[in-house]
Amino acid sequence: AQTVTQSQPEMSVQEAETVTLSCTYDTSESDYYLFWYKQPPSRQMILVIRQEAYKQQNATENRFSVNFQKAAKSFSLKISDSQLGDAAMYFCAYRTAYGGATNKLIFGTGTLLAVQP
Amino acid sequence: GAVVSQHPSWVICKSGTSVKIECRSLDFQATTMFWYRQFPKQSLMLMATSNEGSKATYEQGVEKDKFLINHASLTLSTLTVTSAHPEDSSFYICSASSTRAQYFGPGTRLLVL
């Protein structure tokens, strides 16, 4: 069975600085998707970024980028120029590629990010 | 990203009553939706997978007779908490799944008195 591990329960960053959140996963599959979701205090889950395992190029979305290391099964999220609105719980998630939309997400335990002004 | 609505956002009910929560995918058709429960400061716990036109698939330990799921159309799934009790008080979140990702509703806070 697949597992997702986030080893940092809490992180803190100064406004305008850069922070990296760690995520590792375990799978025997070769084709899958990885996600970072953000859950602010409103508790709305927001998709931050998506990575397809067959793509070697790291995904980027504005200030958010990932470092995807398939061999090491590592998928870290880098937030550049941190803003107060980035303060949230961040969840790393895995989904198998086989079966399409019917597949469930496997979540990590989350990292609570605080942004200091 | 895609928009998923959830209604109601807040519900307070008396013990023994049933509560229905609606989840709607507003801008794409979702053959699969998921229902989660989340306790404070914890990750999401998958309760069940809702498939349009067929029975839901429940995770181990989730009572299917207590948490009734109906996925009547490609844009609507409902979760009914039957005979709710205080221990059912929680935050319930739905998601609509596409081949690209899962998109989440804003959640429903349920308080059973």
> Which amino acid, one-letter code, is at B70?
N
pLDDT at B2 over 90: no
Distance of alpha carbon A49 from alpha carbon A55, whole angstroms: 14
Contacts A91 to B, Cβ<8 Å: 43-44
Taking all residues of chain B, what is their mean pLDDT, rounded to a whole number? 94
Chain A CA closest to residue B42:
A109
Length of chain A: 117
- Among A residues 33-72, those touching chain B with beta carbons less than 8 Å apart: 33, 35, 37, 42-47, 50
Contact B103 A47 (CB under 8 A): yes
> Of the candidates B1, B44, B107, which has its C-beta nearest A107's C-beta?
B44
pLDDT at B47 over 90: yes
pLDDT tops 90 at residue A108: yes
pLDDT for residue A101 is more than 80: no
Task: Give the pLDDT of residue B100.
Answer: 86
Strands B108-112 and B10-13: parallel
**pLDDT tens across B54-91, in order?**
889 999 999 999 999 999 888 999 999 999 999 999 99
